[in-house]
């Protein structure tokens, strides 16, 4: 690291859990963020500020006026622009040292698998089960940790799925494929809620990269924002899971 980097990241370098070694790991890391909406905005901004060396931003959607209530990486002037491109502009203003790759199209299965292979950590900030299942299915065989978050109305949740640990469940262990989607457009969401969950996703990502503390693998945190209450659920591995427990072909 040069002198400017030592100054920029000095407040986290002084933490024993991070130190110089941890900051070097962050600078060398590549994180794939899928979805640059309410969750992806704080995830991307905090990871860029923390000095993650390369961020890949994937979102095919465009910024809409109704997004601005909670999607803080975007501005009124960028309404109509692609969300990945809009977020990239904010991140470059925040930390011009971070390398950014924008994917402005919907990733098909093969493209998703290819992008996951490059990633140190994948952060799922999407809002539908079909995409979440696809992301999980790409992360499991690649053994890339997945940080998953969701927020709707006044309820949020966050979990880590780390297929490097054979005892860790995957996202498919938690949800059935016929689960119903809940959208912010149909149900609403309070702006700070996505900020809380997104910030937690960024925190778990940094912990995975720097290898400190206890991450949320095997646990699900649930936030009831109405009553400011957190609950923790243990997530056992489903030994009949069609994704992470299926026999490996030879």
Q: 159 with 122: CB under 8 angstroms?
A: no
Q: Are 33 and 43 in contact, with CB atoms under 8 Å apart?
A: yes
Whether the per-residue pLDDT at 202 is higher than 60: the answer is: yes
Q: Is residue 184 part of a domain?
A: no
Query: Residue 59's domain spans which residues?
Result: 3-149+189-215
The answer on pLDDT for 250 being more than 50 is no
pLDDT of residue 176: 84
69-120, pLDDT tens digit by residue? 999 999 999 999 999 999 999 999 999 999 999 999 999 999 999 999 999 9
- Residue 208 within any structural domain of the chain: yes
The sheet with strand 146-152 has its strands ordered as 99-103, 54-58, 30-34, 121-124, 146-152, 155-161, 219-224, 229-234
* Domain contains 183: no
**Could you tell me the pTM of the whole model?**
0.95
Domain annotation covers residue 204: yes
- Tally of CA atoms within 13 A in the half-sphere of 212 that contains its CB: 13
241 in any annotated domain: no
Within-domain flag for 229: no
Q: What integer is the mean pLDDT of 122-134? A: 95
Which pLDDT value is given to residue 177?
Answer: 79
User: Which residue intervals of the chain are DSSP H helices?
Assistant: 3-8, 10-13, 19-28, 40-50, 83-94, 109-118, 129-142, 171-174, 184-187, 191-210
> Is residue 16 domain-resident?
yes
C-alpha closest to that of 147 among 50, 246, 31, 59: 31
- Number of domains composing the chain: 1
**What are the tens digits of pLDDT across the range 208-223?**
999 999 999 999 999 9
pLDDT tier for residue 193 given thresholds of 50, 70 and 90:
very high
| Residue 249 binned pLDDT confidence (cut-offs 50, 70, 90) | very low
pLDDT of 188:
86
What is the CATH classification number for the domain harbouring 123? 3.40.50.720
Residue at 211 is within a domain: yes
């Amino acid at each position: 690291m040069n002198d400017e980097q030592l100054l920029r990241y000095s407040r986290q370098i002084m933490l024993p859990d991070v130190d110089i070694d941890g900051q070097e790991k962050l600078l060398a890391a590549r994180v794939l963020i899928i979805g640059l909406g309410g969750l992806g905005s704080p995830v991307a901004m905090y990871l860029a500020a923390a000095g993650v060396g390369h961020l890949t931003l994937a979102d095919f959607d465009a910024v809409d006026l109704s997004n601005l209530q909670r999607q803080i990486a975007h501005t009124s002037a960028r309404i109509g622009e692609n969300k990945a491109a809009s977020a990239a502009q904010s991140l470059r203003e925040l930390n011009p040292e971070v390398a950014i790759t924008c994917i402005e199209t919907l990733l098909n299965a093969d493209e998703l698998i290819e992008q996951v292979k490059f990633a140190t950590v994948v952060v799922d900030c999407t809002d539908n089960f079909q995409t979440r299942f696809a992301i999980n299915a790409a992360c499991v065989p690649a053994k890339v940790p997945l940080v998953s978050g969701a927020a709707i109305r006044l309820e949020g949740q966050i979990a880590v799925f780390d297929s490097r640990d054979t005892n860790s469940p995957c996202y498919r262990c938690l949800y059935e494929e016929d689960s119903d989607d809940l959208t912010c457009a149909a149900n609403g969401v309070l702006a700070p809620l996505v900020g809380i969950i997104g910030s937690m996703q960024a925190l778990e990502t940094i912990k995975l990269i720097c290898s400190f503390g206890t991450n949320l693998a095997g646990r699900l945190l649930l936030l009831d924002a109405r009553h400011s209450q957190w609950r923790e659920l243990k997530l056992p591995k489903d030994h009949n899971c069609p994704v992470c427990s299926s026999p490996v072909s030879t």
